[in-house]
Amino acid sequence: MDYIIATHNMKKRDELQRILEPIGVRVLLAEEAGIELTDVEETGTTFEENALLKAESGCKESGMPCIADDSGLAVDFLDGAPGVYSARYSGVHGDDEANNDKLLAALEGVEPEKRGAAYVSVVCCVYPDGRKLMARGECRGIIGHERIGNGGFGYDPLFFPVEYNMEKTMAQLTADEKDAISHRGKAVRDIAKKIGEIK
């Protein structure tokens, strides 16, 4: 069954597809489905609110089940910032380099034990008949002092997940390694289970 995803981010689409494919779900970008989706203004103050806004809008406009993700980085020392503003932390949406620079500057001089953080992902699926599914995943880690690794996107080159004991950043993991521990991987596996139960 085809589901549309409310994003233009091919890397996000690929992550969802890897996990949902085994249950018979094909995830399509709007462009792949020949549909134009409105860019929804993310006015929510939580990941849950923003994910629901995007999924409801995408479902209404496409007439297809729509999956939307809202995710970001919550840094302990910064009282949960950048949070829902992670993608536009620097003031320009999607500028990973500028966002990473701003985060490094905000944590300059902060000792390692105070650099704890969590990647958070909320995945929402809305169906044309009004059904709604939601799942949340988190991945704890530490923010490093410099970029390491070339994989992933966003803050991955700075984020050392606890599962790898500060030996690898998210940007150094293979796709399978990342899926196994990532916030999005956890949320998508949970939503996949829920989708599988109602299909």
Look up residue 83 and give its two tokens.
């949070």
Measured CA to CA in angstroms, residue 178 lies from 6, 7, 15, 40, 58 at distances of 22, 20, 9, 28, 27
First to last CA, the chain: 9
Write down the pTM of the prediction.
Answer: 0.89
Q: Which residues contact 146 (CB under 8 A, 6 or more apart)?
A: 104, 158
Cis peptide before 128 (omega within 30 of 0): no
Q: Where are the beta strands (DSSP E) in 76-154?
A: 116-126, 132-143
Where are the chain's structural domains?
A: 2-198
Per-residue pLDDT of the chain (199 residues; tens, 9 = 90+): 899 999 887 878 888 888 888 888 999 988 888 888 888 888 899 999 999 999 999 999 999 999 999 999 999 999 999 999 999 999 998 899 999 999 999 999 999 899 999 999 999 999 999 999 999 999 999 999 999 999 988 999 999 999 998 899 999 999 889 889 999 889 999 999 999 888 6
- Residue carrying structure tokens 């599988």: 196
Active site residues: 70
Question: Where is 71: in which H helix or E strand?
Answer: strand 66-75
Per CATH, the number for 2-198 is 3.90.950.10
Look up residue 158 and give its two tokens.
């700075």
